[in-house]
Amino acid sequence: MGIIMWKKVEKGIYQEGTHSFRVRMMVNGHKLDKTLDSLTEARVYRDSHKLSQSLDVHESAIIESRIKKQTIKSLSVGDALDRYLLEVTPTKKGASTEEFRIGKAKRTKLAKKPMHGITPDDVLAYLEEIGGSENNKRKYASIISHLYRTAIRKWRLPVTNPVSGQIDLPSNGKPRERRLHKGEYEALMKALMGEAKAFVIIAVETAMRRSEIFNLRRENINKKTCSAVLRDTKNGETRTTLFSAAAMKALQDLNLDWKSKGEVWTITESQLRRVWEEARADIDAPDLHFHDLRHEGTSRLFEKGLNVFEVQSITGHKTLSELRKYTHLEPRNILKKLG
């Protein structure tokens, strides 16, 4: 059996191989002997135990602060986003959307930089790299800002938020007024098939949010009353929505086993996103967003003659002002009613 040779790196720390660092020291009469995977970890372990030897509380706080700063130097923004994705994102209603945005954020230059050294200028450069509308940039800025708030308040890391109070956030932008242009709905129906086609039909016919459609369950759908109970919606409330004949037919065409409980869809959000983008390209509508279907559906409900309270009960908008920004009626349909 060979003898393991440990090389002394610094006081109390010895190295054997590339990824093996051993801390050997005496603390208050007790012998410490622990092997760690990196020199940084070994230093933190050694120095944290040295704190117990100090009788001065203020001195201990200073040393502890230094240890944290030493640890944070090796933590990149990308590493912190990984932890955030694991601990924070799953608790949010829009977890899948945030997961997609974090994936994009991790591919930026900012993600490779150490978290403790990020400046407001770094954030502005990151937003330019993200691109898109001002509203889109605002959402990506919010991710970084909340990442730092979490690091400060929950993880107790000695960092400064480079977003909050440091930069002017991009504006929310004008509310989108995009409705389906003439012939686009028919073109979408030709470009889509299967579950994706049914999903779009239901989105337009009910003005439901994408997340609400995905959360549909067979046991919550009443085919006799053409209705569905939506639980844990974006607003945190449960509501009942109604299906038009076209929406019910789209559900029936899925050939579901209505006698059993369970989810309606087998298509995943990433699969739907990919199919949607392909269909959007096929019909030459690059500016059409899936959420525009909620605008379209809400406006169609008004054009069918429903009053504002009836529409609100179906769409789940919290306030009338929210409903107003989503509603863009076709003048020709209003003229028909005027006579």
Fold of 77-153: DNA polymerase; domain 1 (1.10.150)
User: Do residues 259 and 217 lie in contact, with contact meaning Cβ atoms separated by under 8 Å?
Assistant: no
pLDDT 10s digits, 158-215: 889 999 999 988 877 666 778 899 999 999 999 999 999 999 999 999 999 898 999 8
Q: What is the pTM of this model?
A: 0.56
For the annotated catalytic residues, the residue numbers are 209, 234, 291, 294, 317, 326
Per-residue model confidence (pLDDT) at position 55: 45
Per-residue model confidence (pLDDT) at position 1: 45
Residue with tokens 């390209």: 281
CB count within 10 Å of CB 268 equals: 11
What CATH number does domain 184-338 carry, 3.40.1390.20, 3.40.50.300, 1.20.1070.10, 1.10.443.10? Answer: 1.10.443.10
List the domain boundaries for the chain.
7-72, 77-153, 184-338
- Of 332, 59, 93, the C-alpha closest to 235 is 93
Residue 31, judged by CB atoms within 10 A of its CB (0-12, 13-18, 19+), counts as exposed
pLDDT 10s digits, 18-30: 778 888 888 766 7
Residues 6 or more apart whose Cβ sits within 8 Å of residue 237: 316
| pLDDT class of 34 with cuts at 50, 70, 90 | confident
CA dihedral 56, 57, 59, 61 (to 10 degrees): 160
User: Measured at the alpha carbon of residue 53, what is the angle toward residues 48 and 59, in degrees to the nearest 5?
Assistant: 75
Q: Please state the rounded mean pLDDT for residues 76-92.
A: 90
pLDDT 10s digits, 226-271: 999 988 777 667 888 899 999 999 999 998 898 899 999 999 988 9
* CATH topology identical between 77-153 and 184-338: no
CB count within 10 Å of CB 126 equals: 23
Phi and psi (nearest 5°) for 227?
A: -140, 165
pLDDT 10s digits, 289-298: 998 999 899 8
Collapse the DSSP code of 154 into the 3-class scheme (helix H, G, I; strand E, B; otherwise coil) and give the result. coil
User: Do residues 227 and 240 lie in contact, with contact meaning Cβ atoms separated by under 8 Å?
Assistant: yes
Per-residue model confidence (pLDDT) at position 24: 87
User: Do residues 22 and 14 lie in contact, with contact meaning Cβ atoms separated by under 8 Å?
Assistant: yes
User: Do residues 232 and 238 lie in contact, with contact meaning Cβ atoms separated by under 8 Å?
Assistant: yes
Torsion sign, CA atoms 115, 117, 121, 125: negative
